Structures are given as C-alpha cells and as structure tokens.
Amino acid sequence: MRKLIAIILTAVLALALSACASSEPKLRAYVYETEEDELMPPTVTLLEDNRFMFVFSPISSYIGFGTYAINEDVLTLTTDDGEYVYIFEIANGKLVFNAEDSSEMTWFAEIPDGAEFN
C-alpha cells in the first residue's frame, strides 16, 4: 500500500513540476519594465477564457479588450473589433513585445520592439 501511495505522489509531483515548466503565461497582469518611473506603465492583463485587457497610457481613453491565442512561444492579442493585433514572445515568464508584427497604434505609449512586460 505504501508503494502505491509513493508512486501516486511521485506522479502527481512530476505532473505539477511539468506544469510549472510550461511556457504558457500565467493569468495575471504583465507590466512594461522601463527605466523611467511611470505613473501607469503599459500593462497587459491575461484573463480567464482567453480574454485580455491592454492598458496603454493614462492619457488615453482607449483600453484594448479582446481574445488571445498562444502558438508555441508566441502570444497573439486580437482586439474584439478585429482592428488591432499585438504580438509577444513568451520568454522566461515575461512577455517580449514584437513591434514589427504588431499594430502600430499604441495610444500615446512608446513601446519599443523587445520591450519586456513582467
């Protein structure tokens, strides 16, 4: 009986550790890391049901809402109106902005290519 319990606990632990090693981002807010002390830096929040909220700037009334998809290590945010798409690489628990493949509109936020959201 003890062997069976030990095997089950080992299997559960192995599954838990493999889930932690996944490149899938966690459901939480990712904040753009800058050297400047911004009052409200750009923030991507991943929500349940593959939904997101992207707040760009405190001087903009626009907040991007939509759905996200993950393909390997690429996170794609698409706004509900289908007008804007933002691409991020998932790397080491961070989201790395891909400006080249993303929509140009960032509502007063200066987010350069390679910007890290942590």
Domain assignment of residue 6, yes or no: no
Domain assignment of residue 50, yes or no: yes
**DSSP letters along 69-86, please?**
EEETTEEEEEETTSS-EE
CATH, residue 89: 2.40.128.300
Q: How many domains does the chain have?
A: 1
| pTM as predicted | 0.79
Domain assignment of residue 2, yes or no: no
- Enclosing domain of residue 69: 23-117
Domain assignment of residue 101, yes or no: yes
Would you state the pLDDT for residue 22? 53
pLDDT per residue as tens digits for the range 9-37 = 334 334 444 444 456 789 999 999 887 77
| Centroid of chain to Cα 82 | 19
| Bridge pairing between strands 29-31 and 63-71 | unpaired
Three-class secondary structure of residue 49 per DSSP? helix
Domain assignment of residue 48, yes or no: yes
- Enumerate residues 6+ apart whose C-beta is below 8 A from 35: none
What whole-number distance in Å separates Cα of residue 11 and Cα of residue 71? 27
Domain assignment of residue 3, yes or no: no
Domain assignment of residue 8, yes or no: no
Output 78-86 pairs: Cβ under 8 A, ≥24 positions apart.
Answer: 86/44, 86/54
Q: State the chain's mean pLDDT as an integer.
A: 84
Residue 72 CB: number of other CB atoms within 10 A? 7
